[in-house]
Amino acid sequence: MSSLPADISLDTLTPEAVAKTIDHALLRPDMTVDEVVEGCRLCARYKTASVCVRPCDVRVAAGELKGTGVAVGTVIGFPHGSSPASVKVCEALAAIDDGAEELDMVLNIGRLKSGRTGEVRSEISQVVRAAKERLPGCCVKVILECSLLTDDEKVAACRAAEDAGADYVKTSTGFSSGGATLADLRLMRASTDPATTRVKASGGIRTLDYLVECLQAGADRIGASATAAIVDDLRARKASAPSA
């Protein structure tokens, strides 16, 4: 399911492969339309996997990135996950109609912590089913917000998301009390079937070295806003490396 080398390291990764792991995040609440356009153009230059924009910016991003091969993604129930399932379904369908191909939805954290895993699974299933009926091939990622969960709750969330047909489980929104940790990534990878469910690391990934560590810990996709700095760092290291 991944185009990454089996042996992930700075030696085996290319700048192009690293860029293709990144969902470039444009989610700051104060971001202007011009900044969104600029961020989309950066994604087109670097050939990232996707851009992840606010729901109000999906049409702008879809217009900017048409024909570039960069997918347009957005967030659902963001950042707290507390909207009713019916609202999340409406958000998902509206986003797809505006041009989104990937959806990063926040699960209902309070319901999960209440032990109501069946409700969490049902909600995810409703969003997944509606999204894939509207757009076959739509990629749905479920944000756990790991910094608010116990390890047992993280495992339960991973299994609920997998059972509901989600394509990814994701560590964080980047707007809570913590971001991606290597321990959480390893736990999420161990709690899901790699043949069906991938792992996305998001929150606090600002350097090339940490991105590589996240990939080594089991992540397939990386949410980041420091895309240019990360990819340019690898290009610089490759350029300065002594020839064999």
Task: For residue 9, give every residue at least 6 positions away whose Cβ sits within 8 Å of its Cβ, in sequence order, or none.
Answer: 212, 216
Task: For residue 184, give every residue at least 6 positions away whose Cβ sits within 8 Å of its Cβ, in sequence order, or none.
Answer: 146, 154, 171
- Pull the structure tokens for residue 149: 């969960």
Which position among 20, 141, 154, 200 bears the catalytic label?
Answer: 200
Are residues 180 and 171 in contact, defined by beta-carbon separation less than 8 angstroms?
Answer: yes
Are residues 237 and 10 in contact, defined by beta-carbon separation less than 8 angstroms?
Answer: yes
Which position among 20, 88, 154, 170 bears the catalytic label?
Answer: 170
User: Is 170 one of the annotated active-site residues of the chain?
Assistant: yes
Give strand pairing partners of 68.
none
Are residues 147 and 171 in contact, defined by beta-carbon separation less than 8 angstroms?
Answer: no
Please list the alpha-helical segments (H only) found in the chain: 15-19, 33-46, 58-65, 85-98, 109-113, 117-134, 151-163, 182-190, 208-216, 227-240
- Round to whole Å and give the CA distance between 4 and 59: 30
Active site residue ranges: 170, 200
